[in-house]
Protein backbone atom coordinates (compact mmCIF):
# COMPACT_ATOMS: atom_id res chain seq x y z
CA UNK A 1 0.00 0.00 0.00
CA UNK A 2 1.38 3.39 -0.98
CA UNK A 3 0.23 6.30 1.18
CA UNK A 4 -0.03 9.82 -0.18
CA UNK A 5 -0.64 13.19 1.40
CA UNK A 6 -4.28 13.54 2.41
CA UNK A 7 -4.86 9.78 2.73
CA UNK A 8 -6.31 8.44 5.97
CA UNK A 9 -3.53 6.84 8.00
CA UNK A 10 -4.34 3.12 8.28
CA UNK A 11 -5.62 1.99 11.67
CA UNK A 12 -4.07 -1.03 13.37
CA UNK A 13 -3.70 -2.83 16.68
CA UNK A 14 -0.24 -3.53 18.03
CA UNK A 15 1.81 -4.19 21.12
CA UNK A 16 4.07 -1.36 22.23
CA UNK A 17 6.62 -0.72 24.94
CA UNK A 18 3.75 0.91 26.88
CA UNK A 19 1.15 -1.81 26.24
CA UNK A 20 -1.32 -2.66 23.46
CA UNK A 21 -2.92 0.12 21.41
CA UNK A 22 -5.42 0.67 18.62
CA UNK A 23 -3.71 3.42 16.65
CA UNK A 24 -6.62 5.76 15.87
CA UNK A 25 -7.91 5.55 19.43
CA UNK A 26 -4.40 6.21 20.73
CA UNK A 27 -4.11 9.36 18.58
CA UNK A 28 -7.44 10.66 19.88
CA UNK A 29 -8.29 14.25 18.91
CA UNK A 30 -4.72 15.47 18.49
CA UNK A 31 -1.79 15.07 16.13
CA UNK A 32 0.70 12.21 15.91
CA UNK A 33 4.15 11.53 14.51
CA UNK A 34 4.81 7.90 13.56
CA UNK A 35 8.45 7.20 12.76
CA UNK A 36 10.05 3.86 11.95
CA UNK A 37 13.43 2.32 12.75
CA UNK A 38 15.19 -0.52 10.89
CA UNK A 39 15.67 -2.58 14.07
CA UNK A 40 16.59 -2.36 17.75
CA UNK A 41 20.09 -1.80 19.08
CA UNK A 42 21.28 0.18 16.07
CA UNK A 43 23.40 3.30 16.63
CA UNK A 44 21.54 5.93 14.60
CA UNK A 45 18.15 4.79 15.95
CA UNK A 46 19.44 4.98 19.51
CA UNK A 47 20.38 8.65 19.02
CA UNK A 48 17.04 9.41 17.35
CA UNK A 49 14.93 7.93 20.13
CA UNK A 50 16.98 9.86 22.67
CA UNK A 51 16.45 13.07 20.67
CA UNK A 52 12.66 12.60 20.59
CA UNK A 53 12.61 11.80 24.32
CA UNK A 54 14.41 15.10 25.01
CA UNK A 55 12.03 16.97 22.70
CA UNK A 56 8.87 15.38 24.12
CA UNK A 57 7.84 18.63 25.94
CA UNK A 58 7.94 20.43 22.57
CA UNK A 59 5.69 17.81 21.00
CA UNK A 60 3.36 18.04 24.02
CA UNK A 61 3.09 21.84 23.61
CA UNK A 62 1.80 21.32 20.09
CA UNK A 63 -0.66 18.57 21.03
CA UNK A 64 1.40 15.98 19.14
CA UNK A 65 2.01 12.39 20.26
CA UNK A 66 5.23 10.76 19.00
CA UNK A 67 5.34 7.00 18.50
CA UNK A 68 8.17 4.89 17.12
CA UNK A 69 8.16 1.53 15.37
CA UNK A 70 10.73 -1.25 14.98
CA UNK A 71 10.39 -4.79 13.64
CA UNK A 72 11.65 -6.30 16.92
CA UNK A 73 9.41 -7.60 19.75
CA UNK A 74 8.44 -5.71 22.90
CA UNK A 75 10.98 -7.49 25.11
CA UNK A 76 13.86 -6.21 22.99
CA UNK A 77 12.31 -2.73 22.97
CA UNK A 78 12.37 -2.66 26.76
CA UNK A 79 15.97 -3.85 26.87
CA UNK A 80 16.89 -1.24 24.25
CA UNK A 81 15.16 1.48 26.30
CA UNK A 82 17.77 0.96 29.03
CA UNK A 83 20.56 1.52 26.52
CA UNK A 84 18.84 4.65 25.21
CA UNK A 85 18.57 6.15 28.69
CA UNK A 86 22.16 5.29 29.61
CA UNK A 87 23.76 6.51 26.38
CA UNK A 88 21.48 9.45 25.46
CA UNK A 89 20.68 10.81 28.91
CA UNK A 90 16.92 10.62 28.30
CA UNK A 91 14.48 7.85 29.18
CA UNK A 92 12.05 6.64 26.52
CA UNK A 93 8.85 8.58 27.31
CA UNK A 94 6.65 7.59 24.38
CA UNK A 95 5.59 4.19 22.99
CA UNK A 96 7.64 2.08 20.61
CA UNK A 97 5.56 -0.28 18.44
CA UNK A 98 6.65 -3.91 18.15
CA UNK A 99 6.14 -5.14 14.59
CA UNK A 100 7.86 -8.54 14.33
CA UNK A 101 5.50 -9.80 11.62
CA UNK A 102 5.97 -6.53 9.61
CA UNK A 103 2.18 -5.99 9.51
CA UNK A 104 2.32 -2.27 10.29
CA UNK A 105 5.40 -1.85 8.09
CA UNK A 106 3.41 -3.32 5.19
CA UNK A 107 0.39 -1.09 5.87
CA UNK A 108 2.61 1.99 5.76
CA UNK A 109 4.96 0.79 2.98
CA UNK A 110 7.99 1.07 5.27
CA UNK A 111 10.01 -1.75 3.71
CA UNK A 112 11.71 -0.89 0.43
CA UNK A 113 13.10 -4.18 -0.96
CA UNK A 114 15.69 -2.54 -3.21
CA UNK A 115 17.13 -0.90 -0.10
CA UNK A 116 16.64 -3.66 2.50
CA UNK A 117 14.37 -6.70 2.15
CA UNK A 118 13.56 -7.18 5.84
CA UNK A 119 14.01 -3.93 7.78
CA UNK A 120 12.08 -0.68 7.62
CA UNK A 121 13.55 2.48 6.15
CA UNK A 122 13.50 5.63 8.32
CA UNK A 123 10.03 6.90 7.51
CA UNK A 124 8.15 9.77 9.19
CA UNK A 125 4.39 10.30 9.03
CA UNK A 126 2.77 13.40 10.51
CA UNK A 127 -0.93 12.67 11.07
CA UNK A 128 -3.56 15.29 11.90
CA UNK A 129 -6.64 15.05 14.17
CA UNK A 130 -8.74 13.85 11.21
CA UNK A 131 -6.25 10.97 10.86
CA UNK A 132 -5.00 12.33 7.53
CA UNK A 133 -1.36 12.01 6.52
CA UNK A 134 0.04 15.54 6.29
CA UNK A 135 3.77 14.88 5.86
CA UNK A 136 5.81 11.98 4.48
CA UNK A 137 9.60 11.83 4.86
CA UNK A 138 11.85 8.88 4.03
CA UNK A 139 15.50 8.69 5.02
CA UNK A 140 18.15 6.06 4.28
CA UNK A 141 19.17 3.85 7.19
CA UNK A 142 22.50 5.63 7.63
CA UNK A 143 21.09 9.16 8.00
CA UNK A 144 19.57 10.33 11.27
CA UNK A 145 16.52 12.54 11.18
CA UNK A 146 16.32 16.21 12.18
CA UNK A 147 13.41 16.32 14.64
CA UNK A 148 13.64 20.10 14.98
CA UNK A 149 12.70 20.21 11.29
CA UNK A 150 9.73 17.94 11.95
CA UNK A 151 8.58 20.30 14.72
CA UNK A 152 9.02 23.23 12.31
CA UNK A 153 6.78 21.53 9.74
CA UNK A 154 4.17 20.82 12.41
CA UNK A 155 4.23 24.51 13.40
CA UNK A 156 3.63 25.41 9.75
CA UNK A 157 0.83 22.87 9.30
CA UNK A 158 -0.99 23.98 12.44
CA UNK A 159 -0.60 27.68 11.57
CA UNK A 160 -1.73 27.29 7.96
CA UNK A 161 -4.70 25.18 9.03
CA UNK A 162 -5.89 28.04 11.25
CA UNK A 163 -5.19 30.94 8.87
CA UNK A 164 -5.27 31.47 5.10
CA UNK A 165 -1.51 31.62 4.79
CA UNK A 166 1.49 29.63 3.60
CA UNK A 167 5.03 29.62 5.01
CA UNK A 168 8.07 30.51 2.86
CA UNK A 169 11.40 28.74 2.52
CA UNK A 170 13.33 28.36 5.78
CA UNK A 171 10.41 29.80 7.76
CA UNK A 172 10.60 29.61 11.55
CA UNK A 173 7.75 30.27 13.99
CA UNK A 174 7.33 34.03 14.33
CA UNK A 175 8.63 34.89 10.85
CA UNK A 176 6.54 36.61 8.19
CA UNK A 177 4.18 34.44 6.14
CA UNK A 178 2.54 34.57 2.70
CA UNK A 179 -1.15 35.11 2.02
CA UNK A 180 -2.48 32.01 0.27
CA UNK A 181 -3.19 32.31 -3.46
CA UNK A 182 -6.74 31.07 -2.80
CA UNK A 183 -7.49 34.37 -0.98
CA UNK A 184 -8.45 37.27 -3.25
CA UNK A 185 -7.15 40.77 -2.55
CA UNK A 186 -10.65 41.76 -1.48
CA UNK A 187 -10.90 38.90 1.00
CA UNK A 188 -7.34 39.54 2.17
CA UNK A 189 -8.26 43.12 3.12
CA UNK A 190 -10.81 41.74 5.57
CA UNK A 191 -8.47 39.06 6.94
CA UNK A 192 -5.39 41.28 7.11
CA UNK A 193 -6.67 44.83 7.71
CA UNK A 194 -3.17 46.19 8.36
CA UNK A 195 -2.26 45.39 4.77
CA UNK A 196 0.67 43.50 3.30
CA UNK A 197 3.89 43.90 1.32
CA UNK A 198 3.72 42.66 -2.27
CA UNK A 199 6.95 42.61 -4.31
CA UNK A 200 4.80 40.77 -6.89
CA UNK A 201 0.99 40.55 -7.06
CA UNK A 202 1.15 36.82 -6.25
CA UNK A 203 3.62 37.28 -3.37
CA UNK A 204 1.78 39.00 -0.52
CA UNK A 205 3.76 39.03 2.71
CA UNK A 206 2.28 39.66 6.16
CA UNK A 207 3.40 39.17 9.77
CA UNK A 208 2.56 35.77 11.19
CA UNK A 209 -1.02 35.81 12.55
CA UNK A 210 -1.21 35.45 16.31
Coarse DSSP helix, strand, coil percentages of the chain, rounded to the nearest 5 percent: 30, 25, 45
Task: Tell me: do 127 and 181 sit in the same domain.
Answer: no
Q: 143, 172, 193 — which closes off a domain?
A: 143
Q: Which of 34, 45, 69, 133 is catalytic?
A: 45
The 10s digit of each residue's pLDDT in 126-144 is: 999 999 999 999 988 889 9
| In a domain? residue 7 | no
Task: Tell me: do 105 and 183 sit in the same domain.
Answer: no
The 10s digit of each residue's pLDDT in 180-205 is: 999 999 999 999 999 999 999 999 99
CATH number at residue 116: 3.40.30.10
As for how many domains the chain has, the answer is 2
| In a domain? residue 94 | yes
Task: Tell me: do 73 and 45 sit in the same domain.
Answer: yes
Active site residue 45: yes
CATH number at residue 197: 3.30.1020.10
Model pLDDT, residue 141: 80
The 10s digit of each residue's pLDDT in 147-186 is: 999 999 999 999 999 999 999 999 999 999 999 999 999 9
- Domain coverage including residue 191: 163-206
Residue 41 to residue 128: CA distance in whole angstroms: 30
Amino acid sequence: MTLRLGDIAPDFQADTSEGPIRFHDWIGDGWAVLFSHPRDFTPVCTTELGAVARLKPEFDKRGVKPIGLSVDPVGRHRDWARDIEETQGAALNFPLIADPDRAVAALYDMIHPNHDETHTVRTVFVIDPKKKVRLLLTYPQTTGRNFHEILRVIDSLQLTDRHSVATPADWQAGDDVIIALSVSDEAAKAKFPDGWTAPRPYLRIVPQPK
